[in-house]
Structure 1
Amino acid sequence: MSGLEQRAITKVIIDYEPVGKRVYAGIGQTILAAAQGLELFEHGISAPCGGKGLCGRCLVRLIAGELSLPSANEMNMLAPARLEQGYRLACQAQIAGPCKIEIPVTSLIGRQQLQVESQYQAAPVDYPFKRYSVSGLINTSIHHPHSLWQQIEKFLKDRHGVTGLTVSLALLRRVNPMVTDGELAVAVCGSQIVNVAAVDCPYTPFGLAIDLGTTKIAAFLIRLDTGETVAAEGILNPQIAYGEDLMSRLAFAMAGEDNARQMVSTAAGGINELAERLALTQGISVNQISQAVIVGNTAMHHLLLGLPIKQLVLSPYVPAATLPIETAAISIGLNLGEAARVYMTPPIGGFVGGDHVAMIQASRIDEAQGITLGIDIGTNTEIVLAVNGRMLSSCSCASGPAFEGAHIYQGMRAVNGAISEVRLSSGGMGVSWQTIGNQKPIGLCGSGIIDLIAELNKAGVIAENGRLNTAHPRVRTEPGKVPEFLVVPCEESGCDCDIVITQKDIGEIQLAKAAIASGIILLSTALGVKVEEIEQVIIAGAFGSFLRLESAIAVGMLPNLPLKRFSQVGNAAGAGACMSLISERERRRAECLATAIEHVELAIQPTFKRVFAKSLQFPRLS
């Protein structure tokens, strides 16, 4: 047994700078694992590959203390000079004693620019909530041996014809069953009594609509009696600590039952945090939240519910359930109201989830006249094409991570300091940029990456096949390294190094944009229409909200159609969740949509390889 193994149960102090956080960690634990215990995912360490030592993005520096010797992965990814300066990969470096660790700004998970709202309005309210004023209550006594609940039941039956009501055990435990003469207000949601209070203290029912995304969780606090959204907020999904892409998280969850339970509790913890934040803004308790609706992609759906997931990563990628699910909030770790219920919109297929159903539900694509294309661009990208009521849908799951910077050398999420817009002048010699927060640039977020490649394409710095022109003055080539285009020189950056885009980065974007473009082409072919005949294009999702359409067309990601045919609608999935929260009719409509949408697996289409290969090319636009 090694020295590290012998001392594995020893706890030592680890200080993280510049976040100013301290944890007690075990000898032999990795720097990344210890940081995950901070539960501060907006200020933790970025690990896109889920801690496998494959991406090199969890770079940290040892300021003081003792760590294990560099692993083979670290020796391969970090230059000798970097290792001598104390730089390590947080997922590989093991704790050997008390340490002080610096997390460079480029490795920090910052507060991301999150899209929460949508342009769509909520549906008309038909949530089954009623208030009854129960009068004529008689004091419980030997002469009138009837409890409060017996008298309420009789009053509602005799006066309103209401029968078959249930009462939660939690409410029975809380309310004194002995009656005091007078009058009470009784609140009923559906067939359940949810509250009993004095008439002058009316009960206001609240619900929570959740868009459980791979990268973000968006939540909306809504009054169930009026349908009014009183507060909304988004946070990064704390599961990011276990990998930024779906496959990394699924692999982590499949590694053992403890891991699977951790994924459930982590997702639930993020929702609970949002519920607490939103309730606080209204001065209410989370106990007043009696209903929740959650939409998410199939993997997020399964990971939250603790469903079997092995079949999601193996062909033919079958979900464990494609039916709507309603369960007690507490059963999945949500700390909401007494006997609060959670409804989850059903997924369609292995990589097309209830969030896609909710996007179609909110945007009314199923009711659109003519040919309508819907694209929900996020960590995963779902595509739907509707022609006169018939809908084909597919998923280009390979597209999202690259657009969010996960597979790009100096890519990052949309946080302060990320380059979000780029313009080139003088044939690519001059580069101007805009960063989020107007801070010094530290990397490229998705919209900036698309902008940059579009500008490189228009300036002829890259060829149709994506190869950089090595004769260009800003293109650098060194032996043993891939060519790279200099975007920001070190002296102008905020990360003490040049910011570049590499030939490999361009290849990643080619794969990502080709996944979307080929999906659009193949769905059009399946429905017997031409891409140029598409009359309306709805762009939804976080990334889609900040995307410059001209750039997306210039790289060949979106079809070359007039800009007036495009609409960027924001978080349509969240809007669909809100609709299902306040309307029983909308829930039934979403369920019908989930069964009506025809799911298409792109990879098994006969022409997929040919169409995908052609879509890798960059267009030469006139």
Structure 2
Amino acid sequence: MAEQIKVKIVPAEGETSIYWTLPGKTVQQVLEMAGLESGGSCGGKKNCGKCKVRAEGGVSPLEENEQQLLMPEEIRSGERLACYCTITDDTTIYLDLMAPDYTVKKRVIKYKPGQYTRSGVEYKTFFIPGQQQELGLPLFDRLQAALPEYKFELSPDNLNELHKIDRPGRPALELHALVYGRTVYRVEREKKAALALALDLGTTSLFAALLDLESGEVLATASQSNMQRIYGQDMVSRLAYAKEQRDGEISLHKIMINNINAMIDDMVSQIGQTADRIYKLCAVGNPVMLHFFLGLKTDGFNAAPFSGLFSTSLEIPAAPLELRVNPLARLLIPPQLGGFVGADMTACLITLQNCFNTTFLLCDVGTNSEIVVCNQGEIWTSSAAAGPALEGGALNCGMRAAAGAIERFRINNEKLEYQVIGGTATKGICGSGVVDLLAVLLANDCINQEGTFTARAEEYFPLREGNYGQEIVLLDQAETATNTPLIFTQEDVRQIQLAKGAIRTAIDILMKKARLKPSELKNIFIAGAFGSYLDAENLIKIGLLPAVKREKIKNIGNAAAEGAMITLTSNTGMADADQIKKKVHHVELANQPDFQEKFLQNLNFTAAD
């Protein structure tokens, strides 16, 4: 039997950890076993070049294919790709090239309690007679007799707790029943917090909020990277993993549940409560994420007609999912709208019901971008497989929105100026910075309408040939945290063109279905955590959004999470969601006769309106 070897993992911040493994494992496999991300975006297929680490000790030599994915400066500084680098003997892995998750930008929530607080969950105060020796009525019988119009679903632990205070000789007991609908879920001597959990399950990141069910107040929030990303940054990669691996779907399900339980633990500790006080949940997300969350088969999403096992609204027990909530907690999932447009977009629309009699475009920009066009109450929707490029993934210089990421660019007096999250040394560019950079390059004729670098780019940046064609050097190695130049390549531009083209094509086709011109839109709403940080004018400049007056574009923050909160705190939330689904026409873009023509047209940075 092979002798195990020692692997020391040194994070950018925090304590060093030691793990033991067998020779022949890749650095990526060791990081996964340690519960850490490798930073890659291709799910271990060895083609993205993003899983950069530094490794010292017994590791395999640099492979030719690996060398093609690294810059000469990176090779000289000892950088390796975790998916290629194999451990052969005791090794130290340095993760200083990766951004810590806890510095990710917080999601923008615009939900305010009070407006919708009719959750259907309430406390009812009642009395039961004490134990009487001559009658001998059991405790549970006395509870039912006191509230005969309600059904009791009490846990054995709850009955045992009540038994301790049900002493002989006591004339009566004042109790408080936690009621949801016509069911009593818990009976207590003292009223305690009844909590609800709102979940927004994104492909890239997960968001959770704890609410007080009586007041509707948000008590705590948490956000984490979706750790499923170790098997690919987009839905297609994860669906492929689920299909190709024997227990792929189970692994993806467990990863998400572990993610959510960690957020629950964090939030209840913040407010000094326990997880068994969570009685009601609402989860929203795209259809694939919801299927992974529920542990359902995802085969139906791999080929036309791209449908899963359910699309209608669900109300089910939460206990089988092994979430850290009350054993009797109920889980609500609003209806999905068709294809890859999920309950997250339904939740967004819940927040916009007062706009249904107008005209608007709603965009949730992300890895799986979801688009809605409304014309006087009739609604069309579709999704665009934009991939991770617009969020900083799949780009040589890209990274998530974390400390060290450039989030803003501009040129002032022919000099490039930028803003870095956290004010630290630069590590890369996040999504909002990528959009700004493209707008700057276009405005200064550094790239043409087809996305090709021009001779004028050399007036602002060093322009050179790289592994992926021409590239500009934004910062030299002395100005970065990684001691390697920050470059923006021709291939990076192409990746953004593909993402932008997919989203804009969806917008154009839906606008045509709704018989609307851009000038006829009353509003363009930008939803989502990522969208909260995008510059609307720059989205128009690069052609992702149609040209409208700036004041028409409104950022509505994390509207999916807000819609989930409204669903939890409104006794009509699920009924409203079901009515919204009836108004929606889902459009499968690939089936549209003009899809290919429009997509090719929208690859350019001057999409026609």
Does TM, scored on the shorter chain, surpass 0.5? yes
Task: Say if 2:151 and 2:184, in contact at 8 Å, map to a contact too.
Answer: no
Indicate the larger mover: 168-177 or 573-582. 168-177
Residue equivalent to 1:213: 202
State the match for 2:299 in structure 1.
310
Distance 1:411 1:173, change over 3 A: same
- What is the Cα deviation at residue 151 of structure 1? 0.3
Which residue is equivalent to 1:57? 50
Tell me the SS of whatever aligns to 2:455.
coil
Deviation string 1:123-170 (CA, Å, 9 cap, x unpaired) is: 5222222333332422154x222111100101112xxxx143333455
The answer on whether the counterparts of 2:339 and 2:586 sit within 8 Å (CA) in structure 1 is no
> For the residues of structure 2 that align with 1:122 and 1:422, how far apart are their CA atoms?
40
1:46 maps to a residue whose letter is: G
C-alpha contact 1:74 1:89 (8 A) present in aligned 2: yes
2:563 to 576, 586, 603: 576
Aligned-pair CA distance for 1:120: 6.3
Superposition map of 1:258-337 within 5 A:
258-337=247-326
Map of 1:106-121 to 2, 5 A cutoff? 106=98, 111-118=103-110
State the 1:107 CA deviation: 6.9
Q: In the alignment, what sits opposite 1:239? A: 228
Match of 1:537 among 505, 524, 543: 524
TM value normalised by structure 2: 0.93
CA contact (8 A) 1:423 1:452 kept: yes
Aligned partner letter, 2:553: F
Q: Distance in 2 between matches of 1:228 and 1:81?
A: 52
* Partners of 1:81 and 1:554 in 2: CA distance: 33
- 2:465 match: secondary structure: coil
Change (3 A) 1:380 1:58: same
Q: Tell me, yes or no, if the aligned pair for 1:297 and 1:355 is still in contact at 8 Å.
A: yes
Cα distance change of structure 1 residues 438 and 210 upon mapping to structure 2, 3 Å threshold: same
The residue number in structure 2 matching 1:3 is none
Q: Which amino acid aligns with 2:490?
A: Q
Once the two structures are TM-superposed, the CA of residue 210 in structure 1 deviates from its matched residue by: 0.8
Aligned to 2:142: 151
Shift of 1:122: 6.5
Equivalent position of 1:445 in the other structure: 430
Kept in 1, the 8 Å contact 2:284–2:344? The answer is: yes
1:118–1:574 CA contact under 8 A, matched in 2:
no
- 1:176 matches 2:163: yes
Instruction: Select 1:185's aligned residue among 173, 176, 188.
Output: 176
Which blocks of at least 5 consecutive residues in structure 2 are unaligned?
A: none
Distance 2:384 2:533 in 1: 19
> Where in structure 2 are the equivalents of 1:112-151 lying within 5 Å?
112-118=104-110, 123-139=115-131, 141=133, 143-151=134-142
Q: Find the counterpart in structure 2 of residue 465 from structure 1.
A: 450
Could you tell me whether the CA contact under 8 Å between 2:52 and 2:82 is conserved in 1? yes
The residue aligned with 1:164 is: 151
Residues 301-320 of structure 1 show CA distances to partners (whole Å, capped at 9, x for unaligned) of 01111111122121221122
Q: Percent identity of the aligned residues?
A: 29
Contact 2:403 2:424 in 1 (8 A): yes
Distance 1:574 1:477 in 2: 44
Partner letter of residue 36 of structure 1?
E
Q: Give the TM-score taking structure 1 as reference length.
A: 0.91
**CA distance in structure 2 between the aligned counterparts of 1:330 and 1:543, rounded to whole angstroms:** 32
Letter in 1 for 2:408: E
1:196 aligns with 2:187: yes
Aligned in 2, Cα 1:79/1:613: closer, same or farther, shift over 3 Å?
A: closer
CA-atom RMSD in angstroms? 2.4
Residue-by-residue CA offset, 1:51-75 (whole Å, 9 max, x unaligned) = 12111111222222x2345556425
Which whole-Å CA distance do the structure 1 matches of 2:78 and 2:607 have between them?
A: 46
Alignment of 1:24 with 2:34, yes or no, is no
Q: Separation in 2 of the partners of 1:173 and 1:241?
A: 44
CA distance in 2, matches of 1:446, 1:175: 54
Structure 2 letter corresponding to 1:16? I
Counterpart secondary structure, 1:56: coil
Amino acid at match of 1:492: E
More displaced 10-residue stretch of structure 1: 100-109 or 370-379: 100-109
Q: Which amino acid aligns with 2:44?
A: G
**Residue aligned with 2:473, SS:** strand
**What is the CA–CA distance in structure 2 between the aligned matches of 1:79 and 1:446, rounded to whole Å?**
22
Give the counterpart of 1:393 among 366, 381, 387. 381
Q: Determine if contact 2:53/2:97 at 8 Å carries over to the other structure.
A: no
CA shift in 2, pair 1:605/1:185, >3 Å: same
Are the aligned partners of 1:57 and 1:107 in contact in 2 as well (CA < 8 Å)? no
Which AA in structure 2 matches 1:456? Answer: L
User: What is residue 367 of structure 2 aligned with on the other side?
Assistant: 379
Structure 1 residues 475 and 526: CA distance shift in structure 2, 3 A: farther
Change (3 A) 1:119 1:202: closer
1:339–1:273 distance in 2 versus 1, CA, 3 Å: same
Q: Distance in 2 between matches of 1:213 and 1:620?
A: 28
Q: Distance in 2 between the 1:108 and 1:68 partners?
A: 27
Relative to structure 1, is the Cα distance of residues 549 and 312 closer, same or farther in structure 2, using a 3 angstrom cutoff? same
Contact 1:60 1:107 in 2 (8 A): no
> Which among 86, 89, 92 is matched to residue 97 of structure 1?
89
CA drift of 1:79 comes to: 6.5
Query: How far, CA to CA, are the matches of 1:565 and 1:540 in structure 2?
Result: 14
SS of equivalent residue, structure 1 residue 60: strand
CA pair 154-177 structure 1, distance change in 2 beyond 3 A: farther
Aligned equivalents of 1:80, 1:137: Cα separation in 2 = 82
CA distance in structure 2 between the partners assigned to 1:524 and 1:335 by the alignment? 43
Compared CA separation, residues 617 and 38, structure 1 to 2 (3 A): same
Q: Which amino acid aligns with 1:466?
A: G
- Counterpart in 2 of 1:352? 341
Q: Describe the SS at the equivalent of 2:408.
A: strand
Map Cα deviations across residues 331-390 of structure 1 (whole Å, 9 max, x no partner).
Answer: 11201113212112222223111101101111226x433311111112221110000100
**Against the structure 1 CA distance between its residues 432 and 601, is the aligned structure 2 distance closer, same or farther, given a 3 Å change threshold?**
same
> More deviation in 333-342 or 468-477?
468-477
Task: Give 1:125's aligned amino acid.
Answer: T
Matched residue type, 2:373: L
Does the 8 Å contact 1:147/1:178 carry over to 2? no
Q: Does 1:619 align with 2:606?
A: yes
Aligned length: 599
Say whether residues 1:550 and 2:537 are aligned partners.
Answer: yes
- Opposite residue 306 of structure 1, the aligned amino acid is G
* Cα distance in 1 between the residues matched to 2:360 and 2:72: 54
2:531 maps to a residue whose letter is G
CA–CA distance in 1 between the matches of 2:529 and 2:123? 39
Checking the alignment, whether the CA contact within 8 Å between 1:326 and 1:341 is kept in structure 2 is: yes
Query: What one-letter code is carried by the residue in structure 1 that aligns with 2:356?
Result: A
Find out whether 1:588 has 2:596 as its counterpart.
Answer: no
SS in 1 for 2:281: strand
Structure 2 Cα separation of the partners of residues 568 and 382 of structure 1:
15
Question: 1:425 offset after TM fit, Å?
Answer: 4.0
After superposing on structure 2, the runs of 4+ consecutive aligned residues of structure 1 that deviate more than 6 Å are none
Deviations 1:524-548 (A, max 9, x none): 1111121222111111111210001
Aligned-partner residue type, residue 452 of structure 1: L
Work out the CA distance in 2 between the residues paired with 1:481 and 1:37: 33
